[in-house]
Structure 1
Amino acid sequence: MKAMTKVVWLALIGAASGILIAYYQYLTMAPELASALMDQLGSLGMLFVVSGLQTAVLTAVAAAIGFKLRTKLELPEAKLPDKSGILAALAIGFASSLVITLAEKFVFMQYLPDAMESFSFSPLYLAAAVLYGGIIEEVLLRLGLMTVILWLLTRSQKKQNAAEGLEPAKRHVSDLQAWIAISVSALLFALGHLPATAQMIGLSVPIVIRSLLLNGFAGIGFGWLYWKKGLIYAMLAHIMAHVFNQLVLMPLFL
């Protein structure tokens, strides 16, 4: 599949996921916030248009840049099916979900609202999490941001090779460069969850620490998969983290 076709498909998924996540957030808002939002936008339909279009555009831009720049880097093209990639994605997805659920239960539960002490399954939330979290966040944070960071970190190779009269097909990504990109993208992945957290439960020092630690831990795993196995396996791990969390671990522990 050509890169431009992939960009279009991802933008369409971005639009759908933007609508789903906006609708879920609207349903879980405090009544006064929901009322203020409707006063500002005029209707639920306009909320869907704005959120869907915004997410589609961001996704398309990140995907276009990521697909363009990664051709200059030594990054793996995801092979399907790759047994080791699938197993790694399942393991990282489960480990991320397990750490998040156990930390929620035994460390951070005392800082959360009483309404979050028990689990209530939401098909809408799971669908939004799989599409937006599992696919779109990986496009934005790994394909987009992480690729840009790696491209910037390896620019010195281009200057050195030009001075020596050499220009390899792709720039080598060192372990140090990869881990810098993984860490930065994981940190921004964690920070990106703070606005939604603030809207749903408010922010305090323990809540901020919770968001940074738990989302950052998962982001490192997803970034490692992108580096070693490719985007599809980072997406698979992220999707399975939500599936394990919503269908297995949270019902079991909460």
Structure 2
Amino acid sequence: MKTIAILLTVFNRKAKTLEALENLFAQEIPEKYALDVYLVDDGCTDGTAQAVAESYPLVHIITSKGDLFWNRGMLLAWESAVKAKPYDFYVWLNDDTILNTQALTTLLQTSESKSNKAIIVGTTSSLKDAKTITYGGRTQNGQLVVPQNQGVSCAYFNGNIVLIPKYVYEKVGANDPVFHHALGDFDYGKRAKKLGIENIVAPGILGQCDTHESLATWCNPEKTFKKRWQAFRSPLGNNPEEFFVYEKRHGGFALACFHYLTNHIRLLFPRLWV
């Protein structure tokens, strides 16, 4: 029997979280696999944890006080799974991502085709338009990779649906806690690539998740400077120190310095970019 640890971190999205779990537990997976779920409740105040405990009592709920955000929450879920027992696979799943029925099977089959030595990325489409790809693997210049009939390579990826075999975890480790919210998934894929690990986009669309793209508060000229500054410094915004670490690591010191400067200029004079 091969084991899978499903990792989630949640914050005040009760309905979406329950829907994500409903589709997760409806997965049609081969009999030789068994899964456990590790969910970090990062300070929910809307009753998410209680609702999950009532509907899915086998889910391992880890409670935090609300300062982890996505990346550090996923790290805590991962560490909790590793402490519990050795797993053959770890799967990142966003709490607003709805899996298709065969999603896990497709991830596992794609992983087997790579001898369980590659990261396997699932692609999502819009809930409103199934033809619109929203998250998944990305090219070096940031474009989303269109899934094919077989696995295709990508440079890095969004963390909505990602399967990480034990082999990869032992070589790459877990998420880097230097990042609070964003960048942890991009960083993981790029670190893996540097270590010779392939990032492979699985065939087909494996789930649905709408994008959250809009003009960020930190660079929105319609917002006051105070609000822009608060968003800029927030883990949910464009925290300059975290972006500097990421870009220095993967783009070099000069690029990191350049964007550190231009992002501050954009913060001060957002209309220059409109």
- Short-chain TM bin: under 0.3
Relative to total residues, which structure has the larger helix share, 1 or 2? 1
Task: Name the structure, 1 or 2, with higher relative contact order (CA <8 Å, separation 6+).
Answer: 1
Normalising by the residue count of structure 1, what TM-score does the alignment of the two structures yield? Answer: 0.24
TM-score by length of 2: 0.23
Q: If each structure's strand is expressed as a fraction of its own residues, which one has the higher value?
A: 2
